[in-house]
């Protein structure tokens, strides 16, 4: 059994540890405000509603997200400084020239942020690669998605779409009925993929 004196000493130790940790965290946050800023600090942006979430909650809000983006466009223009979790500054733009420069012309200078779980899920395919490997895979797939190839496949697309229409019409022939459209479309996609395999 723990004596009252041991309990008080443990409680005192925990209180001192929490106080030291809190003071350290406060000093870290305070010194971060005084650090020399980057050029991003000169870009205008809206005030932060939460130091914990930054603008992240407003940007991804399902109901009010679009109005937040509209407010950014109207009040700050195409280039804005936003803050994410723990007040980390990020550059946010919807300027077509800047996006073209970042995504196409100088894509090696701006590596995409990738989550390892996404790579595990998708593998090193077109969606999981960047740079030269991504360009090589796109070049390999371009002929498959060319206009001429798609035109040559139109009769097959039309036949399968006609079969889908007939199947759905049979379901509702005797009046309103429930039909699993997602299952029917999945079947169509499977048929399209399997009929293209040589």
73 touches 94 (CB < 8 A):
yes
pLDDT in tens, 100-133: 888 888 877 766 665 455 566 677 777 777 778 8
pLDDT in tens, 64-87: 889 998 999 999 999 999 988 777
Contacts 24+ apart (CB under 8 A), 72-78: 72/46, 75/46, 76/44, 76/45, 76/46
Residue ranges per structural domain of the chain = 1-35, 39-94, 152-196
pLDDT in tens, 168-193: 899 888 888 888 888 888 888 888 88
Query: Would you tell me how many other CB atoms lie within 10 Å of the CB of residue 174?
Result: 7
Distance in angstroms (rounded) separating the CA atoms of residues 140 and 135 = 9
Q: Is 79 helix (H, G, I), strand (E, B) or coil?
A: strand
Distance in angstroms (rounded) separating the CA atoms of residues 194 and 198 = 9
Q: Is the pLDDT of residue 62 over 70?
A: yes
Helices marked H in the chain — which ranges?
Answer: 4-34, 56-59, 65-76, 96-100, 116-122, 131-141, 147-171, 181-196
- In the prediction, which pLDDT does 193 show? 81
Give the CA distances from residue 69 to residues 120, 155, 171, in Å, rounded to whole numbers and listed in that order: 32, 43, 43
- In the prediction, which pLDDT does 115 show? 47
As a whole number, mean pLDDT of residues 27-46 equals: 72
Q: Which of 49, 45, 55, 47 is CA-nearest to residue 80?
A: 45
- In the prediction, which pLDDT does 198 show? 53
User: What is the pLDDT confidence band of residue 31, given thresholds at 50, 70 and 90?
Assistant: low
Distance in angstroms (rounded) separating the CA atoms of residues 135 and 154 = 28
145 touches 151 (CB < 8 A):
no
Q: Is the pLDDT of residue 95 over 80?
A: yes
pLDDT in tens, 133-173: 878 988 998 888 889 988 988 999 999 999 999 988 998 88
């Amino acid at each position: 059994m723990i004596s009252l004196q041991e309990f008080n000493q443990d409680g005192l130790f925990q209180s001192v540890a929490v106080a030291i940790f809190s003071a350290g965290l406060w000093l870290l946050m305070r010194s971060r405000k005084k650090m020399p800023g980057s050029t991003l600090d000169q870009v205008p942006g809206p005030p932060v509603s939460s130091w914990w979430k930054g603008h992240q909650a407003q940007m991804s809000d399902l109901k009010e997200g679009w109005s937040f983006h509209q407010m950014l466009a109207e009040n700050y223009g195409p280039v804005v400084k936003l803050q994410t979790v723990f007040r980390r500054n990020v550059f946010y733009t919807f300027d077509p020239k800047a996006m073209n420069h970042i995504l196409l012309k100088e894509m090696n200078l701006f590596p995409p942020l990738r989550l390892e779980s996404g790579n595990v899920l998708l593998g090193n395919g077109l969606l999981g690669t960047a740079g030269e490997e991504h360009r090589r895979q796109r070049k390999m797939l371009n002929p498959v998605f060319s206009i001429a190839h798609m035109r040559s496949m139109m009769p097959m697309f039309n036949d399968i779409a006609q079969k889908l229409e007939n199947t759905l019409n049979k379901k509702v022939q005797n009046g309103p009925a429930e039909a699993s459209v997602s299952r029917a479309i999945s079947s169509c996609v499977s048929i399209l993929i399997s009929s293209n395999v040589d």
